[in-house]
Amino acid sequence: MVLGSFADRKGRKNALMLTLMLMMVGTLIMAVAPTYAQVGVWGAVIILVSRLVQGFSAGGEFGTATAFLIETAPHRKAFYASWQVAAQGASMLLASAFGYGLTQWLSEEALYSWGWRVPFFVGLLIGPVGLYIRARLDETEEFTKGERTKTPLKDLFVHHHGRLLAGSAVIGVATISVYMILYMPTFAVKNLGIPATAAFLGGVVAGLVALVGVPFVGHLADRIGPARVMTYAAIGALLLAWPLFQLMVTKPTVPMLILVIGLLGVIMAFYFGPLPALLSSLFPAAIRGTGLAVTYNVGVTLLGGIAPLVLTWLLSVTGSLNAPSLYYMAIAVISLVGLYFVRKRYQQA
């Protein structure tokens, strides 16, 4: 809400600079945070603060970056906007690769004493490069020459709440696919006895699939329409959820885990890739940053963020190792309903 409306009032470039600086601050706090053994409960408080700052930054990054990409793209808007998702795939790839490398090359004592800080210091190196690039960007012409509003948040909730609700429902398959990719290794290690190091390999595969595949999906979405591609992907998620979990449960091996996570990565690529372009088309330029940011984060929070809690509860209540697939299928249905309204009521292809 804060950073999305800031992007609509003060410009995409200014918001992009602010989100990156906030992420650098949050990551630096994480990297240098004292341990519980050193400062007691304040160590936990400092970590919590760093995560809140990072989350605040991430909350505004998607809407602002997507609005900038869409408004900068002279043509092939779905392709340009898909790089937002491809970059997330690159992040997943790098994070998983770091995790795998650290667990393989460091002793447990070294990993827990100082090794866990390494990825955060490496992540900080991206900051100055990003700030340099963003400082040299020109503001988008659509923002500078278009109509402005002083109350983008009010306008969104008063005049475009239907689009907000439909868009939030559409987020479902995208966010649950990401959370499921992150959850599957934990599920496999805790419930199926698969080695913990395999968890990171699955993330590497899923990140690579997203990084390579998403731009091609964006290109496809420019040809046949983002909503159509996403509808097919959501149907695929609905049909494949149970068989994928059944494969994991009946054949709990490392290759099978990697295969299942890789297929989840394919679903994510086909659904998530066209999503930024579709959401951008729902909102006029004057409130695009706010509309994208609020819609995306409402969907992620309600349909993806609570996934680990819901999945753990389902496992305990049903006693079935296939139970998480039911939640995945339910979210796919919600997204299909959202896509129906986006296509029929708001005339998005």
Q: 7-21 pLDDT, tens per residue?
A: 999 999 999 999 999
Instruction: Specify the pLDDT at position 292.
Output: 96
Taking the domains of the chain in order of start, what are their residue ranges? Answer: 2-344
User: Does residue 290 register a pLDDT over 90?
Assistant: yes
Cβ neighbours of 34 (radius 10 Å): 12
Tell me how far apart the alpha carbons of residues 167 and 237 are, in angstroms, rounded to a whole number. 18
Total-model pTM:
0.90
Instruction: Specify the pLDDT at position 315.
Output: 87
Instruction: Specify the pLDDT at position 226.
Output: 96
Cβ atoms of 198 and 254 within 8 Å: the answer is yes
The single residue listed with the structure tokens 């559409």 is: 170
Instruction: Specify the pLDDT at position 283.
Output: 94
In which band, very low, low, confident or very high, does the pLDDT at 62 lie, cut at 50, 70 and 90?
A: very high
Task: Work out the average pLDDT over 282-293.
Answer: 95
Task: Work out the average pLDDT over 305-310.
Answer: 87
Instruction: Specify the pLDDT at position 321.
Output: 87
For the domain covering 2-344, report its CATH number: 1.20.1250.20
Cβ neighbours of 325 (radius 10 Å): 22
User: Does residue 120 register a pLDDT over 90?
Assistant: yes
In which band, very low, low, confident or very high, does the pLDDT at 184 lie, cut at 50, 70 and 90?
A: confident
